[in-house]
Amino acid sequence: MADVKVKLVRSLIGSKKDQIATAHALGLRKIGDEKVQPNNPQTQGKVKKIAHLIEVTEA
Three-class SS string for the chain?
CCEEEEEECCCCCCCCHHHHHHHHHCCCCCCCCEEEEECCHHHHHHHHHCCCCEEEEEC
CATH no. of 3-58: 3.30.1390.20
| Predicted confidence (pLDDT) per residue in 47-56, tens digit | 999 999 999 9
Q: What is the pLDDT of residues 13-26, one digit of tens each?
A: 999 999 999 999 99
